[in-house]
Amino acid sequence: MAKAKTVYFCQNCGYESAKWLGKCPSCNQWNTFVEELVEKGGNKVPDWRSGSVVSGERKPNKAAVIHEINYEEEARLKTPDNEMNRVLGGGVVPGSLVLIGGEPGIGKSTLMLQLALTIPGIKTLYVSGEESEQQIKMRAERLLQSSKADCYILTETSTQNIFKQIASVEPHLVIIDSIQTLHSSQIESTPGSVSQVRECTAELLRFAKESSTPVFIVGHITKDGAIAGPKVLEHMVDTVLQFEGDRHHMYRILRAVKNRFGSSSELGIYEMVHNGLREVSNPSEILLSQREFPISGVTIAAMLEGIRPMLIEVQALVGNSAYGTPQRSSTGFDTRRMNMLLAVLEKRFGFRLSTQDVFLNIAGGLRVEDPAIDLAVIVAILSSQQDIAVPTHIAFAGEVGLSGEIRAVNRIEQRIAEAEKLGFEEIYISKYNNKGLDTSKYNIKINWMAKVEEIFQAIFG
């Protein structure tokens, strides 16, 4: 019988120690070690083909010259979900391991079940450790997709039993919901522990690479928003997707945090409806409010999320402070960058904002990091302070420097084309973006600006 021993694992990075440590020597985090009972099974590893445990000894690989390696590009698996295809970089890569995380109730299981039920001609295996077969059937009927004949449902938590069913069904796509509920007989610890999560993920990774079968893994997140389990879990998988949004609102955002087969800054937007998640092909239309008349403090910014242009609404509210210290609050925008822009307005242009409350909001629940919305933020703040509305047919795209200059931004052609497509008549951009830009192909009026005071004079007079 294998000898069991107690070891300590860092919950943040997975570092293993024979004794408890206050500070992890690997990631320098405090109070992250937990005690777990681990069975050392020597070099025995589970075989996914039979579900049994076999010897882990194998013939060592030899080094190969890179130009001698044969490479055949495999076709990606295109799903009916265009938003999913965009975030994954063009489709599902055979043999890839994809981890999707999100808050409870955000719609991770709905998204994965919807994916399993809608791919035509692909045999899928949906493994759930949290729901019964009847509950999954009820959800499938609610999604109006329960008639797919080649979608198999398995309620199991043992990886050995799961691999036996995989060998029997031979699916083309496997979905695990969730990794925290699985357990391996190789590790004597509770499901969801650091060692169990790491071992189960390693077994799924071995299966995906050896069989060229894509595997989707649903992962829980902690109260800090990070995926539960050791940080090494995110290093093991090929792609990490974050499913975000307020569950009290209808819109959800699927964001690629890591992607070995595509861009890691892509974004997909869904709308939660009564029968599941609906793709939002044109997010600019839902992020812009339909106003019948201009309102002060509201501007439109042309931004990029990955390679996807979008127009978003920036809302600002400036008022006299009722307390000694003025309030500074922003939703969806970096508060430190907002304070920097306020300092530029006060130092360079004489706007007295140090005694006023400033509130900033990015409409639609988006979290924006594109510096090109600086210009829209400044104009929205000045519009609210002066109580002068900005015309609704104007968009902005520009980064603001510490000296008050309007700096050029990348991919300005896509931003201009998106604003023109949505019916905007004017766009204000940096004059340093005019190098090599063919303005004759645009019907929208392009205004070139170099300093913030030029914007103020052009809009507010």
Which residues sit in the known binding site?
102-109
Assigned token pair, 268:
């997909």
Please tell me the distance from the alpha carbon of residue 396 to that of residue 210, in angstroms, as a whole number.
50
Binding residues for ATP: 102-109
Please tell me the distance from the alpha carbon of residue 391 to that of residue 373, in angstroms, as a whole number.
17
Beta bridge partners of 271: 251, 278
Beta bridge partners of 177: 128, 218
Assigned token pair, 138:
């009820």
Contacting residues for 223 by C-beta, under 8 A, at least 6 apart = none
Please tell me the distance from the alpha carbon of residue 231 to that of residue 215, in angstroms, as a whole number.
19
For residue 396, which amino acid is it?
F
Please tell me the distance from the alpha carbon of residue 37 to that of residue 190, in angstroms, as a whole number.
9
Classify each residue of 67-91 as buried b or exposed e, where b means 16 or more C-beta atoms within 10 Å of its C-beta.
Answer: eeeeeeeeebbebebebbbbbbbeb
Q: What is the largest CA-CA distance in the chain?
A: 85
